[in-house]
């Protein structure tokens, strides 16, 4: 009987330890505040309507009658899509389901850029999902470059409050003349206000939208400490829920950046600042989930970038 009780005790202890490790590996589970669903305000478009192949075409599969796509990374290549249109500003969304398993060094990126047109003074707005150490499988990194300001990285990093490999989650960028907002499942995680402190480094030239998966072994995990292990390849990210609404380069006459009275759907007054609900969500995300901000990195910057000392 004692042997049975000992086995029962150790079995229970093992289950408890596994639960503790699972909580530790994913981080504490938090329920986000209720926020407006920006993704409900705009229409979805298909992959065929919105994207062209950027690279790795053989590793891209269009599914569900063109409404979704799978992008993969293997030892031969990563893969990527680029929007057919370029935008002066807009709201951009993709619902992504990330690769599961050991994904250290894998990078899934959803971003805006014009480096193809302005190689020396390009703009860029990044959402990067980094396959990280074993204990925390994926990390969200955001970054902003304006007018070629690549010497100043404006990274912020967050742990997610869900497992991004178990289902689709929305990753969104709102970019207009007033601010840049990064959102996850409609919860703002970062706001970058277009103020005097930012000046010429605020992204202002038309950009394309990219979705990519690639090998970031050299930098994504502590300078390459955990490179991609291709024994677990292919790594596949699935994408659906595509939304692209904004001022298209070749149709600029139909949109305006001139004032808050603009009737433009993405640059108008309703998108000029966050609502009280969104501010609550932003505060929650940053208090609970942000673990790195360039504005707190005094080892990296002896003099912090000017916007860090300005009231955003």
pLDDT tens, position by position, 231-263: 999 999 999 999 999 988 876 555 655 554 455
Amino acid 262: pLDDT: 52
- pLDDT digits 0-9 by tens, 109-154: 999 999 999 988 999 999 999 997 665 679 999 999 988 777 788 9
Q: Which residues participate in catalysis according to the annotation?
A: 124, 128
Q: Which residues contact 52 (CB under 8 A, 6 or more apart)?
A: 81, 82, 83, 84
**How far is residue 46 from each of residues 52, 61, 142, measured CA to CA in Å?**
11, 13, 25
* Contact call for residues 85 and 106 (beta carbons, < 8 A): no
- Judge whether residue 6 has pLDDT over 60: no
Residue of 103, 275, 83 lying closest to 179 (CA atoms): 275
- Judge whether residue 23 has pLDDT over 80: no
The Cα–Cα gap between 59 and 19 comes to 36
The Cα–Cα gap between 206 and 112 comes to 9
- pLDDT digits 0-9 by tens, 259-312: 544 556 688 788 999 999 999 999 999 999 999 999 999 898 888 888 898 654
SS3 178: coil
Amino acid 167: pLDDT: 96
- The strand pairing partners of 109, in sequence order, are 128, 212
Amino acid 230: pLDDT: 95
- pLDDT digits 0-9 by tens, 43-53: 999 999 999 99
Whether the model clears a pTM of 0.75, i.e. scores above it, the answer is yes
């Amino acid at each position: 009987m004692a042997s049975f009780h000992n086995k029962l005790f150790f079995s229970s202890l093992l289950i408890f330890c596994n639960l503790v490790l699972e909580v530790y590996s994913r981080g504490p589970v938090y329920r986000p505040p209720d926020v407006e669903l920006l993704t409900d305000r705009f229409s979805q478009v298909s992959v065929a309507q919105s994207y062209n192949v950027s690279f790795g075409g053989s590793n891209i599969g269009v599914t569900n009658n063109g409404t979704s796509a799978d992008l993969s990374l293997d030892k031969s290549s990563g893969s990527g899509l680029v929007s057919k249109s370029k935008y002066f500003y807009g709201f951009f969304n993709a619902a992504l389901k990330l690769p599961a398993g050991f994904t250290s060094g894998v990078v899934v990126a959803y971003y805006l850029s014009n480096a193809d047109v302005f190689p020396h003074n390009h703009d860029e707005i990044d959402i990067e999902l980094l396959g990280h150490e074993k204990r925390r499988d994926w990390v969200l990194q955001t970054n902003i470059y304006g007018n070629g300001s690549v010497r100043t990285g404006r990274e912020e990093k967050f742990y997610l409050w869900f497992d991004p490999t178990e289902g689709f989650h929305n990753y969104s960028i709102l970019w207009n003349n007033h601010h840049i907002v990064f959102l996850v499942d409609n919860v703002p995680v970062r706001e970058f206000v277009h103020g005097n402190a930012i000046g010429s480094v605020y992204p202002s030239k038309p950009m394309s939208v990219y979705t990519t998966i690639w090998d970031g072994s050299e930098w994504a995990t502590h300078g390459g400490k955990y490179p991609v292990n291709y024994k677990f390849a292919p790594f596949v990210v699935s994408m659906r829920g595509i939304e692209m609404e904004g001022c298209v380069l070749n149709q600029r006459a139909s949109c305006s950046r001139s004032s808050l009275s603009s009737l433009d759907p993405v640059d108008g007054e309703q998108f000029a600042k966050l609502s009280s609900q969104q501010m609550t969500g932003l505060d929650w995300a940053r208090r609970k989930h942000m673990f790195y901000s360039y504005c707190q990195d005094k080892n990296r910057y002896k003099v912090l970038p000017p916007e860090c000392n300005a009231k955003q």
